[in-house]
Structure 1
């Protein structure tokens, strides 16, 4: 038998989406922000952003330069 929490905390992207909607950002802005967050996470091997810092942000931006 597996245990499933009754109120699991929302996933990161759901939290971001909810926050953007509370602040009345446009849907297109929301979509673009979520795309960039996904790209950042994938760039760093699917590590959670809470594990990453300034060095990883710099690596991501440097990686965009092609």
Structure 2
């Protein structure tokens, strides 16, 4: 594989398949292993693929009214 093919593959994992960053890293490490251990060649490519990012999670918060409703349903102190 050439550097462009490696970059395209890793980029497609992030953009098209929307894999987690750990999955993308594992794919890169598998390619490095293939070259080093199986093909006995150094992996000399500079990979500038688009990296996967963690999705931003918005916290779920109860309103004051919802908290009062939940607390009103409690019967014991514990």
Question: TM-score per shorter chain, which class?
Answer: 0.3 to 0.5
Of structures 1 and 2, the one with the larger relative CO (CA 8 A, separation 6+) is: 2
Q: Between Structure 1 and Structure 2, which shows a larger proportion of helix residues?
A: 1
- TM-score scaled to structure 2, two decimals? 0.41
